[in-house]
Amino acid sequence: GGVGGMVLPIGMQLAVNNTLITDTISSLQNPPSTKSTSQNTHTLSKESSLYASVVHKSFLFYEAQRSGVLPKTNRVKWRGDSGVRDGKDVGLDLTGGYYDAGDHVKFGFPMANTIAVLAWGGVVFQEGYRAAGEMGWLMQAVKWGTDYFIKAHPEPYVFYGQVGNGQADH
């Protein structure tokens, strides 16, 4: 499903209702600039630019799955704050994190896998993320998830593994 299973090998295409996700995501934001930045100090080849574009669009997908009060750096303009009362029923702030499968449920364990794979990818492929100018977005994506996990683990032996109704909202 969604965030929980949305780590795709480079070059793989995902289609929903015969529409490529990359086509849909590209309409959300202009492609990344190829201008040099402090993180992107060399010119990318055409093939590398395509990979950089895929990574860029992948992070836009993650941003579209965010729950909670969105940061000012939100690049998915049609998305607004959501789930701002998550956890109130148990006296906690369980806002944040990522929705799963494009719906209204946050499943902690698939999300944990996603965040772990994103973080590990940042370690293993650090040079590629830096060359693509996306390391900052990777760090923000991982932090969005880990900040949520800290909230979901309010005391020893307690972890809120799901927020939302898995039947009605999934």
C-alpha distances (whole Å) from 135 to each of 25, 51, 59, 123 are 19, 14, 10, 10
pLDDT band of residue 1 (cuts 50, 70, 90) is: very low
Determine the pLDDT at residue 128: 93
Mean pLDDT of all residues in 76-90: 95
Q: What is the pLDDT of residue 166?
A: 76
Between CA 79 and CA 102 the distance in angstroms is 12
User: Residue 48's pLDDT is what?
Assistant: 81
β strands within 108-159, DSSP E? none
16, pLDDT greater than 70? no
| Confidence (pLDDT) at 103 | 83
- Is the pLDDT confidence value at 41 over 80? no
Mean pLDDT of 72-80: 94
DSSP 97: S
The pLDDT value given to residue 42: 53
- Give residue 45's pLDDT: 80
**Which residue type occupies 46?**
K
Tens of pLDDT, residues 118-161: 999 999 999 999 999 999 999 999 999 999 999 999 999 999 99
Of residues 90 and 37, more confidently modeled: 90
CA distance 140 to 96: 12
